[in-house]
A and B are shown apart, each in its own frame.
Chain A
Amino acid sequence: MRKTLLESLTHGSLTEPAPAPDDSALAELATKVDRAAQARLGRSLAIRQVDAGSCNGCELEIHALSNAFYDIERFGLRFVASPRHADVLLVTGPVTKNMRQALERTYNATPDPKWVVAVGGCAIDGGIFKGSYASVGGVSAVVPVDLHINGCPPSPTDLLKGLLALLEHVGGKG
């Protein structure tokens, strides 16, 4: 074990340089985040992930954000266990009717100021599951959405770009 630890210290960093924040995401956010909120939060955000009916593909890529390559915490972004500790809800899935209430309650449990980021094609408008008797269609049909990150699933780099755009705005740079 000691050997492995030492080697991982010596074989150089895997962590990649940060991608530039997504321009279209910046534009979407510019209209939504006010200065008061920016001043209050500084440059860190606590994220609560909510699977509102996804196929789990999006979750796999959200997980990847925490690996050594993307290392999301270095940006001041961190995943938290409770909506009560969260600034951001990262929501996936074509919100199912069976999850609608749970999503609403999670949203209501999140203190203001808060942002909702809809992740993946399904979260935008139901995606491939659009039109099903069991789905409401997209996250914005249930709670207000501040930012969409498209993809099926979006790659960790796409996710990072979107979240960095959010951070830029919240941090007062935008």
Chain B
Amino acid sequence: MGILDGIPHVSAALSHRPWPRAVVTEAGWQAAIDRLVEGGLTLLGFWGEPTAVHMAMLDAGSAEIAVVSYECTAGTFPSVASRHPPALRLERTIHDLFGLAPTLADDLRPWLDHYAWGKSYPLSGRNTSRDARPYQFLPAEGEALHQVAVGPVHAGTIEPGHFRFTANGEHVVRLEQWLGYTHKGIESLMQGASLEAAAKLANRTSGDSAVAYAFGFARAVEAALQIEAPRRATLLRALMAELERLANHLGDIGAICNDASFALMHAQTGILRERCLRAANVAFGHRLMMDVIVPGGVTRDIAADGVSALRALLAELQKVFPRLIELYDNTASLQDRTVTTGIVKAEYARQFGAGGYVGRASGRDFDARRATAYPPYHALSFEVPVLQAGDVNARVWIRIREVEQSIVLIEQILDQLGPGELETALPARIGHGACEGMTLTEAFRGDVLVWLRLDGALRVERCHLRDASWFQWPLLETAIEGNIIADFPLCNKSFNCSYSGVDL
């Protein structure tokens, strides 16, 4: 049975690629929510337009993907979040940006809107105002409970966000996050932008995933235009994506250990991370490899000495990394902090469709590189590690195994990198009007969804970028419950959710 077969719909958007998008009535919308609630489908994305809302869904069994759209003729849509909690922050965001109101919603508190923009519902195209009210945190009541408020400016060099802990002595009873501080209005800046400008914005959605976002954006454009990047370009894209994954995992493994007061590991992985960035700089001319991937292909070839720089990097990693793993594995004081700390229940990981190491450390066997087999991954061999424990230790081990897999992938890519074109020319304009594309790309922290619509002149009409963090942040709230406040930095680091990527 196809994913849309059980969902009554009125029409299908013909220009939506590669997966179907169907317009549904209220009955279809409710049927889709039913399937999410039953667990038959996983919510992949939920975003708005001035007069419509869209939900992307995945059938985990068949790996089929589809989008359902609901026309908000009365400016409202039936609430998804009131029945399916993973939709909550996305639903509040849709309301903040577009003013579309979920009917029968339990929670309509603003999410991104801190009443500082000087206008309400900035992407709605309308001029309506909203009453400013102080933000209400959820209540936590009981004897001897106290609150600890942290942020938005944190003690370390990290992104801004607010955490409200309610604690009983040392133990956290509830953590509530409030984000939105880095909201820059990326999706509004994208509207009407040229592909070139929009690709740059996509690159800067979350700096640590610059390659993954550029990759996803480029592929979404290519899907919409029905073109394909040349093989050499796709190999170079994956090369950069794996380098980015390596650099981030190495940095994070050390940072997690550092939060467990084991600075030696941090110093050692810091060296390896820096070596990755330097090799990336030699090969692609930018340490974070920004602005290399564009719709159609890549803007530059790997430098003449890039391949040898990358081979030297791999040799160094193969020599040093196994010893660092041994060190992690043999340090009892470190394991004492990471084992059984910050457990994400497998059931929650499944319900929230948690991507990346957060999902895979809690038994969710999903990786966009394998599930959607986008080029060049369809022709590369790699394993997707999965563990069940769901604690900080499991998330560290998933990252360790992923470092090993990235090394294997980079080797394969370097071996396969034959001569070839770098770019497929884009059409100057599209004869038949708007077209839409969607992709799922595996960033280091999980799958990034990019959905866009291009107009006839190849300008972006609307683009939505969904970071894996949307479905990971809420799980961090559950993971910290019952732990002590002092373990929060450790748990938080093991997630390393993006702020900029969800604040947009």
Query: CB distance A134 to B160 under 8 Å?
Result: no
| Residue among B122, B157, B331 with max Cβ neighbours from chain A (10 Å) | B157
Residues of B within 8 A of A59 (CB): 157-159, 207
Chain A: how many interface residues by the 8 Å CB criterion? 50
| A64 to B268 Cα, complex, angstroms | 13
Instruction: Tell me the residues in window 116-174 of chain A with beta carbons closer than 8 Å to chain B beta carbons.
Output: 128-129, 131-135, 152-153, 155
* Chain B binder among A18-26, A27-35, A37-45, A46-54: A46-54
* Chain A binder among B22-30, B197-205, B399-407: B197-205
Instruction: Tell me the residues in window 61-84 of chain A with beta carbons closer than 8 Å to chain B beta carbons.
Output: 61-64, 66-69, 79, 81-83
Main secondary structure of the interface of B (DSSP, over half): loop
Residue B185 lies at the interface, judged by CB distance under 8 Å to chain A = yes
Instruction: Tell me the residues in window 152-206 of chain B with beta carbons closer than 8 Å to chain A beta carbons.
Output: 152-153, 155-160, 180-186, 188-189, 200-201, 204-206
Query: CB distance A99 to B152 under 8 Å?
Result: yes
A13: min CB distance to chain B, Å: 12
Given contacts A58-B207, A135-B185, A5 and B117 within 8 Å (CB-CB): no
Residues of B within 8 A of A69 (CB): 271, 274
| A170 to B324 Cα, complex, angstroms | 41
Query: CB distance A5 to B264 under 8 Å?
Result: yes
| Set B205, B288, B324, B330: member contacting A60, Cβ < 8 A | B288
Report which A residues bind B (CB closer than 8 A).
1, 3-5, 8, 14, 49-64, 66-69, 79, 81-83, 93-94, 96-102, 106, 128-129, 131-135, 152-153, 155
27 contacts across the A-B interface (CB closer than 8 A): A4-B324, A53-B182, A54-B500, A55-B500, A57-B204, A57-B207, A58-B207, A59-B159, A60-B207, A60-B208, A61-B287, A68-B267, A68-B270, A69-B271, A93-B182, A94-B184, A98-B114, A102-B152, A106-B153, A128-B201, A133-B119, A134-B122, A134-B183, A134-B188, A153-B207, A153-B288, A155-B287
Beyond A1-B330, A96-B182, A134-B185, 18 extra complex contacts between A and B, CB < 8 Å? A4-B324, A51-B182, A54-B182, A55-B500, A56-B500, A67-B267, A67-B271, A68-B271, A81-B155, A96-B183, A98-B503, A99-B160, A99-B181, A102-B152, A128-B201, A128-B204, A132-B189, A153-B207
Report which B residues bind A (CB closer than 8 A).
112, 114, 116-119, 122, 152-153, 155-160, 180-186, 188-189, 200-201, 204-208, 210, 251, 264, 267-268, 270-271, 273-274, 277, 287-288, 290, 323-324, 327, 330-331, 498-500, 503
